[in-house]
Amino acid sequence: MNDNLHQLRCFGCGARIAGPDALPNFRCAQCGDLFEVEYPGWTLRQGTNRPNPGALKWLWRERRCSSEALDQSGVWRFRELLPILENYGNAITLREGNTPLYALTRAARVLGIDQLFAKHQGMNPTGSFKDTGMTAALSVAKERGFEWVACASTGNTSAAMAAYAARAGLRSLVLIPEGKIAWGKLSQAMDYGAVTCQLKTDFDGCVKVLAEIVREEPIYLLNSVNPYRLEGQKTPAFEIAEALEWTVPDHLIVPGGNLANSSALGKGFRELRELGLVARMPRISVIQAEGANPLVRSFATSHGSELEPVEAHTRASAIRIGNPASWRKAVRVIQDTDGWCLDVTETEIAIAKAELGAEGLGCEPASAVTLAGLKKLRADGKVASGETVVLVLTGHTLKDADYTIDFHRGTLLKEEEIAGHETEVDGLRRNAFAVDASPAAVLAAMKGNAG
């Protein structure tokens, strides 16, 4: 059983409500802003009643050797820091989390950085970081007796929600923008039994339709506006700190789509610091695609105080979002940690993705904005050679296989996009050849690719 009480606090006006009484769309009735989960009991604990950091670190590491499903989850093994269920026996898990932190040796050498890592969230059960949030939020839905769950999605959310709903015995509804989703992701939602509806609109239009549906029917909303999603998505911060022996990196770089992930990771590191588990927070920066950069524009025009939605255009479908729901939370994280927000071009994304692939670490295009952004930050002198940097890779390379194939076949980028990057692009995509069916032709291709 879980004896800790939590509540929901409006990020905008500070209004508080008990968790079970949240509004269907998780928007504050007073100001319309989003909620976040807080644990007032933590601040009330003093002396011997306050969590012992050393004991928690030992407990969490020991659980990795346990055969219990809850302990094998990289989310629920940290359950002392997400007391959102009345009974942890109600948790729905696919043994998500515990994802690897890879050293990027080639990129580190090229950029002149001593310590460069990739936290690969694409190694989750359905292939993206969304699993860590979905195990938390869908467990809440199951415990509260919902029969249907729903989301609007550009792909990864739908795959995660459908999988966890199937595991829990719930029905799921997915709204997707027609023709604007990677089919590998949609196939997952279909495979897990979700009712999928393609709407003649963009992602933000799907969100609007879904908001009306959940107001009319007892359907639990599982988009990132759901604050319990962020509780699960904060746990990679715990894993990163644990992997670095309870220090934190100097920089954490995160892709920027709907902006819940940067918000969640910031919350995770903040809670670790408040509870005495780490001494400080990392600098957190958010990278967006140039054609889907409303947060970048917000910082440029109003220092993050206002956001004007944009019509999003990028091949990195996971971050093709023009009106991000969690932008205010992301602004706070960036400002509180002295991070940066910048955008990168389609060509820079494609090059960075291929460079990560050359390290044996495939990822979906949206993940590669982190390396592309780091290259810009390093060139601007905002990252020093002796600092430790962690890139968050949010999705698996098979999430958008067509993108990778098109790049290496030379059909992804237009000539005007490649201009100025010819050497980089040619050096990365020279491994796909159409040759005659003879040993001599194959050997010639091999020699042509040597170096």
Q: Where residue 6 falls among pLDDT bands split at 50, 70, 90? A: confident
Reported as a single tens digit per residue, the pLDDT across 323-344 is 998 999 999 999 999 999 999 9
CA dist., res. 70 & res. 66, Å (int):
9
pLDDT higher for 29 or 296? 296
With residue 38 as reference, give the H or E element that holds it.
strand 35-38
pLDDT band of residue 430 (cuts 50, 70, 90) is low
pLDDT tens-digit map of 9-27: 999 899 988 755 567 788 8
Q: Across residues 406-417, what is the average pLDDT? A: 90
Q: What is the mean pLDDT of residues 389-415?
A: 92
pLDDT: which is higher, 36 or 430: 36
Give the pLDDT of residue 445: 83
Tokens in use for 254?
Answer: 């995160």
pLDDT band, very low/low/confident/very high, at 49 (cuts 50, 70, 90): low
CATH number attached to the domain at 101-127+230-428: 3.40.50.1100
Nearest to 282 by CA among 411, 153, 115, 87: 115
Do residues 246 and 348 lie in contact, with contact meaning Cβ atoms separated by under 8 Å? no
What is the pLDDT averaged over residues 240-253?
Answer: 97
| Percent of the chain with pLDDT strictly greater than 70 | 94
This prediction's pTM: 0.93
Q: What is the pLDDT of residue 1?
A: 44
The 8-class DSSP code of residue 398 comes to G
Q: How high does pLDDT run on average in the chain? A: 91
The confidence score (pLDDT) of residue 45 equals: 55
Average pLDDT over residues 98-126: 97
H or E element at residue 319: none
Q: What is the pLDDT of residues 362-376, one digit of tens each?
A: 999 999 999 999 999
Question: Which sequence spans correspond to the domains of the chain?
Answer: 101-127+230-428
Distance CA 336, CA 363 (A): 29
How sure is the predictor about 283, in pLDDT bands with cuts at 50, 70 and 90? very high
